[in-house]
C-alpha cells in the first residue's frame, strides 16, 4: 500500500481540530509515556504544549545525546542549476521569473568542488531546479562522477525521478535523497504549484516510495513552513515518515525545517512560524522519534542557530550559497532564496565547539556499502 492510500484515510480539518483541542493533561500524559506514538507527536506540537517548552527541550537534549552523542554533522549545499520548468509561487527559480538562468558545466562543477572542499567539507548536497530537458538523469550522473572522487558523502535534492533513475544514482554512490512535499494540504498545494510537473500532487507524494524501492540509504522529508498551518502539515509529514520507516526499514530518515525566505518574485508566508514554534517542533520530532536525523540550514537566523545546538539538531550547513556557481564561478547568479545566517564555515565550526559539541566532517564512506 502506497502512502497515497494512507493519506486519503485522514481528514485535514479533523487532524487540525485534534491538535488545537489538545489539553495540558494530554501533554503531560504523552511526556510520561515510555514509547511515543503519532498521537503523542500530535499533542506535543499543539498549542497546549507551549508552556512545557523547557521540559520538552531538556528531554530532547537528553534523547539526542543518548542516540547521536555530542556531535553535529557538517554539510554544504552545491547548486547545479537554477533552470526550472515549474511555476512555484514561493521560489526564486520559478519558471515565470524573468531572470538569467545558469547550469554549471563540468569545468564549473570542478571549480565549485574545489571551493567547497577547501572549507573542510566531505558531505555535499547537490541541489537544482526542476528542468528535465537539461538538468536530467544524464546530467546528474555526469556531475556525480566528477564529485565522487572528492566527497565521501553525496546527497541530492532534485526533481522527483523514477525508481530506475534512483537505482542508477544509488549505484553511482548517492547516499541520500531529499524530497519535500512542500504541503500535504492538497487544495493549497495546487494553489502554490499552478504549472509544471510539480503541480502533480500525487506523483510527488509517491516519490519517497520510489526512493525506498531503489534502496537509497537515507531519505529526507520536510514541509515548506509558511504555506499552511505548520502544526497540521508537520503531523502529516510525521505520518509519512512513520509509514516509510515501517515499509523501507533498511533506510535511515531525516527531517528538515525550511521556512519561507525572501526570494525573487515570491509570495509572503500564509502562516507565520516564530522561533519558539520551530524549537517546539524540533523537540516534538525528537521526543517522538529518537532515531530521526534533524537538519538546520542557514535559512535560520544567527540567534536561533546559536541556541538550537543540543536541542535535537544532528546536522547543520554553513557558509551556504543558494545560487549555481555561488562559491567560485558566478556569485551574482540568482539565488533560490536569501540565507539568513551568513557566517563562515569556520565560525559555525567554532560555535559548535564552544557549545561542547564536535563538528563532524565525515561519518560515511562508500566502502561501507
Chain-wide mean pLDDT for the chain?
Answer: 93
Where does the pLDDT of residue 238 fall: very low under 50, low under 70, confident under 90, or very high at 90 and above? very high
| The pLDDT of residue 343 | 93
Give residue-wise pLDDT tens across range 111-163: 999 999 999 999 999 999 999 889 999 999 999 999 999 999 999 999 999 99
- Cα 86 from Cα 193, distance rounded (Å): 7
Give residue-wise pLDDT tens across range 347-361: 999 999 999 999 999
Percent of the chain with pLDDT over 70: 94
Rounded to 5 degrees, what angle do the CA atoms 66, 42, 32 make?
50
| The pLDDT of residue 92 | 80
| The pLDDT of residue 299 | 87
| The pLDDT of residue 253 | 98
Residue 330: name the closest of 102, 83, 117, 146 by CA.
102
Q: DSSP labels for 120-165?
A: T--EEEEEE---TTTSSHHHHHHHHHHHTTT-SEEEEE-S---HHH
Q: Return the SS3 of 228.
A: coil
Asked if the model's pLDDT at residue 264 lies above 60, the reply is: no
- Cα 310 from Cα 213, distance rounded (Å): 33
In this prediction the pTM is: 0.94
- Cα 231 from Cα 234, distance rounded (Å): 5
- Cα 323 from Cα 334, distance rounded (Å): 6
What grid cell was written down for 7?
493519506
Give residue-wise pLDDT tens across range 12-32: 999 999 999 999 999 999 999
- Compute the average pLDDT of residues 79-89: 93
- Compute the average pLDDT of residues 65-71: 96
Give residue-wise pLDDT tens across range 284-306: 999 999 999 999 999 899 999 99
**Residue 334: which residues within 8 A CB-CB, separation 6 or more?**
82, 92, 93, 97, 99, 100, 101, 102, 264, 323
Amino acid at each position: 500500500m502506497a502512502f497515497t492510500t494512507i493519506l486519503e484515510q485522514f481528514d485535514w480539518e479533523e487532524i487540525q481540530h485534534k491538535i488545537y483541542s489538545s489539553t495540558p493533561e494530554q501533554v503531560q500524559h504523552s511526556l510520561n509515556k515510555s514509547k511515543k506514538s503519532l498521537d503523542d507527536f500530535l499533542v506535543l506540537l499543539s498549542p497546549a504544549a507551549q508552556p512545557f517548552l523547557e521540559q520538552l527541550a531538556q528531554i530532547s537534549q537528553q534523547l539526542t545525546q543518548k542516540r547521536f552523542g555530542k556531535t553535529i554533522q557538517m554539510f554544504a549545499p552545491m547548486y547545479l542549476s537554477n533552470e526550472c520548468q515549474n511555476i512555484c509561487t514561493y521560489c526564486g527559480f520559478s519558471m515565470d521569473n524573468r531572470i538569467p538562468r545558469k547550469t554549471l558545466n563540468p569545468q564549473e562543477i570542478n571549480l565549485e568542488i574545489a571551493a567547497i572542499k577547501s572549507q573542510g567539507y566531505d558531505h555535499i548536497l547537490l541541489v537544482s531546479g526542476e528542468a528535465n530537458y537539461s538538468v536530467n538523469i544524464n546530467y546528474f550522473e555526469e556531475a556525480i562522477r566528477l564529485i565522487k572522487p572528492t566527497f565521501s558523502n553525496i546527497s541530492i535534492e532534485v526533481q522527483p525521478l523514477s525508481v530506475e533513475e534512483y537505482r542508477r544514482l544509488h549505484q553511482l554512490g548517492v547516499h541520500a535523497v531529499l524530497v519535500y512535499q512542500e504541503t500535504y494540504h492538497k487544495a493549497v498545494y495546487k494553489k502554490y504549484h499552478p504549472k509544471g510537473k510539480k503541480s502533480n500532487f500525487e506523483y510527488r507524494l509517491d516519490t519517497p516510495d520510489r526512493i525506498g524501492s531503489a534502496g537509497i540509504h537515507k531519505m529526507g522529508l520536510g514541509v515548506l513552513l509558511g504555506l499552511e498551518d505548520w502544526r497540521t502539515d508537520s503531523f502529516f509529514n510525521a505520518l509519512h515518515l512513520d509509514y516509510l520507516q515501517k515499509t523501507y526499514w533498511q533506510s535511515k530518515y531525516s527531517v528538515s525545517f525550511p521556512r519561507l525566505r525572501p526570494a525573487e518574485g515570491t509570495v509572503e508566508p500564509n502562516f507565520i512560524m516564530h522561533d519558539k514554534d520551530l524549537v517546539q517542533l524540533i523537540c516534538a520530532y525528537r521526543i517522538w522519534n529518537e532515531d530521526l536525523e534533524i537538519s538546520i540550514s542557514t535559512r535560520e537566523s544567527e540567534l536561533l542557530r546559536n541556541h538550537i545546538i543540543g536541542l535535537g539538531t544532528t546536522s547543520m550547513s554553513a557558509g551556504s550559497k543558494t545560487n549555481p556557481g555561488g562559491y567560485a564561478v558566478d556569485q551574482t547568479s540568482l539565488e533560490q532564496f536569501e540565507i539568513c545566517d551568513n557566517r563562515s564555515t569556520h565560525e559555525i565550526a567554532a560555535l559548535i565547539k564552544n557549545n561542547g559539541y564536535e563538528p563532524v566532517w565525515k561519518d560515511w564512506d562508500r566502502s561501507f556499502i
